[in-house]
Amino acid sequence: MTFSPRKLYFLLRTCYALQSPNYLSSLRFPTPVFFSCSSSAADNASLQGPFIVDNLINSVGISPERAIKASGSLFYLQSPSKPDAVRQFFMDSGFSDIQIKNIISKSSRVLLADVDTILKPRMEALKEFDFSESDVIRLVSRKPTFLFCSDAQLKRINFWREILQSKDIVLNALLRGNRIIFTVPERNIMPKIQFLRSYGISQDQIAYMFRINPTFVTRKLDTIRRLVKRVEELRFLCGSRAFCVALISISQMSRATMDSKLTVFRTMGCSEADISLAILKCPQLLMRSAKNLKNTMDFLVKNAGFETSYVMERPLFLTCSLENRLIPRYHLLQFLKSKDLLKNGLSLFTITLFSEKKLMEKLIVPYQEEMPELRQIYASAFAGKFAM
């Protein structure tokens, strides 16, 4: 890591303050080092620089490297009074020490902001969108840039509330990225929403897709057109929920990635018709990785002994976790069969879809008297220990 003369000065001063000269051994310095600043500028730096780095390290808890990096944008601070006022404001507003540290680490310029004219009004403005105090704290902690948005940008939150019809969906989107309020809705968003509606996709379905992938409608219209075309090729009914699931799934992968998933089924002897039908029944298949699909198919066919056609007729099988659901429930079922305890003819597919609560009610509790250790046996299977 190479530092400019000014950053080098901060580094040397920081190491002195921390009494950690050995910290220098991991860093590379320009050779030779020339300080080209004037003596008055150097005097100014000696008055201003050290307290900034020390303040960030000792008061905020930022690492020396981050403190040195952040100090560049805080060079003109005259005293610690403004940073202290900012930190105090966040503490009074309910932010934890860790949240304050995260905010300053992500956006050190917040320490230059005036509490009364910038921070406090922005915090209040965010609450006006029906966000609770805890919502605002989460939002600012994750994305401090919201403290510096213009009024016009913040008002775009109202547009998304109207489109998505849910404060929670909008909040989740904002937490995952601030891109949606930096996009002009009338010019960049509405044409895409109108295009999706032309395919019979309802407002609720658009909200659903947005919840899964908030950046979907921020893509170029031509890109969305191509994605819709790919979903049509899979013969999904336009406007159906399955169409929306497939559209979001395909939007997150390249055509090559999708082909690799389909190849898993082809190598297992599945016909194109079988593959299409399975995806139409369960578009969530497209969200699974090729490796995951292969491992699950291998287990169900080679270990559990099912025919490939049986699995493809029940594609939900392939959406279940192999380690946390399929394998432990398969071993539990095999154990019950070996002890002739299973009287109701339940199949692996049926019990795979059970919740944990229902599994206990159907397969553990009824046999508790005959096999009191059954609960522990299932726990062992869940932990990957199959010695039954």
pLDDT string in tens for the chain (388-residue length): 555 545 554 454 445 444 444 444 444 444 443 333 433 433 443 434 456 776 777 667 777 777 777 666 666 666 777 888 998 999 999 999 899 988 888 888 888 889 999 999 999 999 999 899 999 999 999 999 899 989 899 999 999 888 888 888 889 888 887 678 888 888 889 999 999 999 999 988 988 888 888 888 888 999 999 999 999 988 899 989 999 999 999 998 888 998 999 999 999 999 988 999 999 999 999 989 999 999 999 999 999 999 999 999 999 999 999 998 999 999 888 888 888 887 677 899 999 999 999 999 888 888 888 888 888 888 887 776 654 4
Whole-number pLDDT of residue 40: 42
Helix (H) or strand (E) holding 321: none
pLDDT value of residue 45: 38
Concatenate the DSSP letters of all residues of 162-226 into one string. HHH--HHHHHHHHHH-SGGGSS-HHHHTHHHHHHHHTTT--HHHHHHHHHH-TTGGGS-HHHHHH
Quote the pLDDT of residue 363.
87
pLDDT confidence of residue 116: 93
- 0.85 exceeded by the pTM? no
Query: What residues contact residue 280 under an 8 Å CB cut-off, 6+ apart?
Result: 234, 235, 236, 242
**How high is the pLDDT of residue 78?**
67
Hey, what's the torsion of the CAs at 264, 267, 271, 276, to 10 degrees?
10
Greatest alpha-carbon pair distance for the chain in Å reads 91
Q: What's the CA gap between 365 and 375, in Å, rounded?
A: 8
What is the C-alpha end-to-end distance of the chain, expressed in Å?
Answer: 56
Residue spans of the domains in the chain: they are: 1-79, 80-148, 178-251, 322-382
pLDDT on residue 101: 85
> Tokens in use for 91?
């503490």
The predicted structure's pLDDT at residue 2: 54
What is the phi/psi pair of residue 71, to 5°?
A: -65, -25
Q: How far is CA 332 from CA 176, 329, 339, 352, 374, in A?
A: 40, 5, 11, 11, 9
**Residue 385 backbone zone (phi > 0: left; psi -120 to 50: alpha; other: beta):** beta
Helices (H), 72-148: 81-92, 97-106, 120-127, 133-142
